Structure 1
Amino acid sequence: MSAHIKSGGLIISGDNEVREDGLFLLGASALLDYVSASLVTFSDAWMSYDLKGRAQPAVHAANASRLAAALRDLSEALGSETDPDDPTYFGKPTDTGIDNYFDRDGAASDVWGSFEIPYRYSNFTHAPGFGRIGYARSADGEVQYIPVHGEHGLLGYLWASDAENAASFEPRDVGNEECYEVGLLWLDRLRSAHDRGLSPSQALAALADLTDGNGLDTLSLPTLRKLASGG
């Protein structure tokens, strides 16, 4: 059996303490006589360099020792040694925290740009599941599209192609949290439209009423992607 709970926490930045929701995931599991606990963090504040490879000595100095203390206290409370898990593409867990990756030239690796951005973008270009559930998310020919705006400006483009049974959202900046989350919301809406039996163009027409765009236009998908990226 196993159980997990997400917890918020404080990140120290300069003279400020910022509370972040979902900062940790604390888990426990039991199998026969073996009991273990795990602590997962969703922040790079404990690292010498952030996930983009930028030095953050003040942030690291203010926070790394706090994570080390939490791991030590957890180990003592459970009467068990800390056993770092396998490395992820974000960093390498240690007994006291997390180490960065470094390139051959000694510079800290930009793992955000190398791994997280492509992973996020793949959500918009590849339909999920072995059967490619829902509309296809890529097209070779022209697509109809409409811009989607948010509070801070253009977030991306909603597009559809009946000829290739395809429809998706092309994000303006997948690294931007607002843009990414809004994009995922539009993918969910497209999936619902597909499940209702709407063609891609019918789905686009229905969902266009939920945007503040100025009407449908047509472009090739590669050109639309360049437009979204600012090219």
Structure 2
Amino acid sequence: MKSKNLKILICDNGPLKLLRPRGYFCFGEEKPLDLQGAIFNQREAVHKDSYAGAFAFIQGNLIRNLREGLFPLPNRLRHDPAAKWLRELRVKKIEPQDQWRDPYILCVLLGLAQSQAEDKTSPKYPFAEDHIFKTCAALTDDKNEDFMYFYTAEFSVAFVSKFEYPLDLKKPKDAMSSELPIGRKRILYRPYKTFRARLLAEISSAL
């Protein structure tokens, strides 16, 4: 499933709206790291000028493309089996054994929480120490036509503040000892007739 198809599925006459084609992850004052994954939020949950995301749609093949981009071929126009083989070896060293437990997913979920934490249009801003940023994401694999994985995470202010972004987010004293549970479940594509309703129900429940 592609981002364009999902946008039509869940946004047209639906409760979600597309905010931007990709997300980001920040660490302190460092330059934000762009992340693959279209970013959505519930129409009624955010201000019209807000870019605070809550749900991300991630295509697994795009994550691999990014990792391959770290090891560019010497000449893309020339067929070079040896160079391609070497790149495959390098990519495998940084790929997780289980693609459904990819650390990249954590970055996407955390990036969503960071975007919520810097949302000055929120009526809850500035956020109290006990505030929870709720996020979720779906991950697909082009080779898998049976299901997608759906992830949920509830970030405490303490956990988000570990990464020192947003800069004005107050850091609790016990920030470094805070933990993060991440939920994961399969969502079957079939029956196709009910897929949209089932996916929207999971998103609504997570947020």
Higher strand share: 1
Higher relative contact order (CA 8 A, sep 6+): 2
User: TM over 0.5, yes or no?
Assistant: no
Using the size of structure 2 for normalisation, the TM-score is 0.29
